[in-house]
Structure 1
Amino acid sequence: MTSSHTHKWGLRRASSTARSHAPGEAEGKQALSVTGRAGFVARGVVYVLVGALALQIAFGGGGREADRQGALQQVAAQPFGKVMLWLLVVGFGCMAIWRASEALLANGPQNKVGSRLLDAGRAVFYGFVCWGTASFAAGSGGQSGSDAKSQDWTASALKLPGGQVLVGIAGCVLIGVGATLAVRAVMRRFLRKLETGKMGRRVRQAVTALGVGGGVARGVVFAGVGVFALVAAIRFDPHQAKGMDATLRTFAHTPAGPWLLVAVAVGLVLFGGFSFASARWRRL
């Protein structure tokens, strides 16, 4: 076989291999896209319910905790609640898988080491959320809420060598994360990850409002939890640590009265709506 024939045969083989692999890659990307969108839907459901529970607290009807545990209790109380809970389990599992795929497989200049590590951390977080939701759906409804967990974790951390410093660092990190989330929301950085070209003008305006309002409220809650963790470290008192529920209730006791809590609660509902919009228009 001449060298020219060998070269042509190699080109045909490479072309055939590319064609045979392309459908598989397309199917894989499509599967990951569906997985990510399911995760955003699950996140949206929980944030809408947490925001609704926070609104009840603001207007004097705070029976359930305004956190993920309270949201799951709300879901369980509905008709077909058990089925809905397991759908949330699947959704959070999908989110964990999609975040892990972003950390391991995504290409492009936007996926630097820092971004990959952030996605890996998110994958771990949603893995724990999936596990906790599955435990609740399986009948472990008596697990503690965010406030008790925060105090337990803080107490355990304070017992470690240098634990006071560790808790203080964790608080500062949460404050920084909250501030970053709020600033990015105000700057509308989230629009870079959405297919805005497929939206109409009014839809784009609505999604932008959801992203800004929801992102700021989410950042405020993260920063609030961080402040209480920092106070717990300074005072060496784990009871000063607060989860999402206690942090939200604290907003009602500020000089602004319950209206600050109302504003944050509405913002959390908006973020839930933004999560639904992300399920539709996020670039995946």
Structure 2
Amino acid sequence: MMDGAARWGFAARGVIYLLIGILALRIAFGGGGEQADRGGALAELAKQPMGSVLLWALGIGMVGMALWRLSEAIVGAAGPDGRKPGKRLMSAGRFLFYGFVAYSVLAFAAGEKSSGSGSGDQESQDITARALNWPGGQWIVGIAGVGIVAAGLWIGARAVMRSYHKHLKLGEMSHRTRKLVDVTGVGGGAGRGILFAAIGGFVIQAAVTYEPDKAKGFDDTLRSFTDTPAGPWLLALVATGLVLFGVFSFAMARWRRV
């Protein structure tokens, strides 16, 4: 049961990242005004034929991902070190994250459009503003920002080192398929890591300046890449990475050891 839930979840994650990447590519080349984040992806999916059915399928897939991560937290993940406390704690954190994503997708599918398509940038700023008002708020937000930067660097480094190999059924892949998976895994993980590291950088900036508006979600962070010397080409590069990560998630749905 958990095997099917996990694979459905990876496929659903792939759809979300694929759509975010496509929306970001449109922005890079001046052809899109949609939000390049989860909300924008859901809104884009809703426009398609049978969009409501697709949204429900996506939400159920994310529920499957959350339940699989919960099972890992309770009984341990696959692999020799899957029962270690650190691994279980990480799975618990992922359960909470995917549980929130599942709720937002299902709420959007049920008609609560503000639940799934609200601006991720505004949500980031609201959360940062509340945290800054806590005792020691600047330190809390700053440490959170450092943690997000570290997570982004960790995601990118693990992708470049191809650490995902230990989770895949490599023996079931042809040589060509393995090369394709590596292109999507390395490129997708690197793009995703850059994005998270940049988001963390903006959170740190918000903490240092005590200005919650400095915090950014996916959309504003992606758009900020166009303000660099590389211009829209850096955005296009990161957006391509997100598309690749979406494709990599489909590969995980097929060949991941669960």
TM interval, shorter chain, is over 0.9
Partner of residue 67, structure 2: 97
Q: Does 1:109 align with 2:83?
A: no
- Residue correspondence of structure 1 range 270-281 to structure 2 within 5 A: 270-281=244-255
1:65 positional shift: 0.4
By how many angstroms is 1:98 displaced?
Answer: 0.4
Separation (CA, whole Å) in 1 of partners of 2:251 and 2:80? 25
Please show how residues 171-210 of structure 1 align to structure 2 within 5 Å: 171-210=145-184
Q: Distance in 1 between matches of 2:231 and 2:34?
A: 20
Residue number in structure 2 paired with 1:79: 49
Deviations 1:129-156 (A, max 9, x none): 0111111111121342110000000000
* 1:41 and 2:11 correspond: yes
Alignment partners' CA distance in 2, 1:37 and 1:109:
21
Per the normalisation by structure 2, the TM-score is: 0.97
More displaced 10-residue stretch of structure 1: 133-142 or 208-217: 133-142
Matched, 1:141 2:113: yes
CA positional deviation for 1:61: 1.8
Matches within 5 A, 1:242-281: 242-281=216-255
Give yes or no for the alignment of 1:228 onto 2:202. yes
| Shift in Å, 1:79 | 0.9
1:131 to 103, 112, 117: 103
Task: Report the alpha carbon displacement of residue 102 of structure 1 after superposing the two structures with TM.
Answer: 1.0
CA distance in 1, matches of 2:97, 2:231: 33
CA RMSD of aligned residues (A): 0.9
The counterpart of 2:211, out of the listed 237, 255, 277, is 237
CA distance in 1, matches of 2:228, 2:108: 33
Amino acid at match of 1:121: G
Shift of residue 109 of structure 1? Answer: 3.2
Aligned match of 1:62 in 28, 32, 36? 32
What TM-score results when the alignment is normalised by the length of structure 1? 0.88
**Cα shift at 1:106:** 2.3
- Segments of structure 2 that go 5 or more residues without pairing to the other structure are none
Aligned mates of 1:184, 1:134 — CA distance in 2: 31
How far the C-alpha of 1:62 sits from its partner, in A, is 2.6
CA displacement at 1:163 relative to structure 2:
0.7
Alignment partners' CA distance in 2, 1:122 and 1:39: 12
SS at match of 2:171: helix
Give the aligned residue type for 2:88: R
Point out the structure with max Rg over C-alpha.
1
For residue 120 of structure 1, the aligned residue among 84, 92, 113 is 92
Q: Aligned letter for 1:213?
A: G
Q: 1:15 is matched with which residue?
A: none
Give the deviation of 1:255 after TM superposition: 0.3
